[in-house]
Amino acid sequence: MRISIIIPAHNEATHLAKCLDSFVNQTLLPNELIVVDDNSADNSFQIATSYSQKYDWINVVQRKSSNEHIPGKKVVDTFNYGLKHAAEFDLIGKFDADIILPPDYFEMMINHFQSNWKLGMCSGLLYIKKGEQWVYENIANKTHIRGPIKLYHKACFNKIGGLRSGVGWDTVDVLLAKYHDFHTLVDESLQVKHLRPTGRGYSLKKAHAKGEAFYKMRYGLVLAKVAALKMAWQAKNPLLYFQILIGYFKSAIHKLPRYITKEEGTFVRKYRWRGIWSKFS
């Protein structure tokens, strides 16, 4: 199975070399690794280029874009730019530049995909450093495949129509995989070090973007309220609930284009409600 990995990189000089070292030291190397330098102001491009000169399976391309941080959209657009340069593949991965993989990561991934023909997405778990210990980055269920380590089977990737450009892309892809009857798997034995923990702070813009994502995923108002309440509770920020809903209502008023069809939306709502009720049974 041919593996192609794309790493969007914007000002990642601090962690990029450690990340690429973990790819180079794999027991089973990917067939292709594309680092997309997205308008970096540091020496990310030079670091990536030094690796591409040593290893013919590592390629580096540059993308010119705005310096404005647009949650979800910027990273997906950068990934899609890299995808245009990818060779034929059986497995396609979107990985971040601030991770360190265990050495048998891709060997285990291949084993999982080859042993289950319905497997559409697979990953390990992200761990962050606290003191001297590496602990699970507990911002999602351990069954959820996180954005920094997404690996898709080509059949699944094509069926879901690739990645959505915006906040919520790394949730809607899992939901669409389920809709199309693909399996998803998290191998808890594969501990991936996340060198820059996911930001927990919510700016007004980011909160509104979350509400927009709920609208685009066709959650419906009641489910969006439940999801917003959960996020506000976890963040210990009651105002976050209202900020997310403002983003939802703004999206509805402006009738923004959805991520998914009505039929897919019906599935998503039922799937989400089953998950909610299962916690009370």
Residues 244 and 173 in one domain: no
Residues 95 and 223 in one domain: no
Tens of pLDDT, residues 214-250: 999 999 999 999 999 998 998 888 999 999 999 999 9
139-155 mean pLDDT: 94
Residues 66 and 190 in one domain: yes
Provide the residue range defining the domain that includes 261. 204-278
**Across the chain, what does the average pLDDT equal?**
93
Comparison of pLDDT for 204 and 190, the residue scoring more: 190
CATH number reported for the structural domain that contains residue 131 in this entry = 3.90.550.10
Give me 54's structure tokens.
């040593």
> What sign has the CA pseudo-torsion 40, 41, 44, 45?
positive
Tens of pLDDT, residues 64-106: 877 666 667 889 999 999 999 999 999 999 999 999 999 999 9
Residue 202 has what pLDDT?
55
Residue 69 has what pLDDT?
64
139-154 mean pLDDT: 94
Residue 200 has what pLDDT?
54
Tens of pLDDT, residues 198-208: 765 556 778 89
| Cβ atoms 40, 10 nearer than 8 A | yes
Residues 61 and 12 in one domain: yes
| Cβ atoms 207, 144 nearer than 8 A | no
Domain end, chosen from 163, 194, 225, is at 194
Residue 198 has what pLDDT?
77
- What b/e string do you get for 198-237 counting C-beta neighbours within 10 Å, with b at 16 or more? eeeebeeebbbbbbbbbbbbbbbeebbbbbbeebbeeeee
Q: Does 199 reside within a domain?
A: no
Q: Does 55 reside within a domain?
A: yes
Residue 235 has what pLDDT?
82
Residues 11 and 44 in one domain: yes
Say which residues have a Cβ less than 8 Å from residue 29's Cβ, sequence separation at least 6. 23, 57, 106
Residues 168 and 270 in one domain: no
Tens of pLDDT, residues 100-132: 999 999 999 999 999 999 999 999 999 999 999
Residues 142 and 211 in one domain: no
Q: Please report where in the chains the tokens 């995909």 appear, as a residue.
A: 113
Q: Say if residue 145's pLDDT is above 60.
A: yes
Residues 57 and 91 in one domain: yes
Tens of pLDDT, residues 31-64: 999 999 999 999 999 999 999 999 999 999 999 8
Q: Does 273 reside within a domain?
A: yes
Q: Does 39 reside within a domain?
A: yes
Tens of pLDDT, residues 246-259: 999 999 999 999 99
| Cβ atoms 190, 107 nearer than 8 A | no
How many domains does the chain divide into? 2
Residues 254 and 221 in one domain: yes
Residues 210 and 141 in one domain: no
Can you tell me the distance from the alpha carbon of 128 to that of 126, in angstroms, rounded to the nearest whole number? 7
> What sign has the CA pseudo-torsion 47, 58, 111, 96?
positive
Q: To which H or E segment does residue 121 belong?
A: strand 119-130
Residues 152 and 215 in one domain: no
Domain end, chosen from 194, 229, 250, is at 194
Q: What percent of the chain has pLDDT over 90?
A: 83
Residues 210 and 190 in one domain: no
For residue 74, count other CB atoms closer than 10 A to its CB: 20
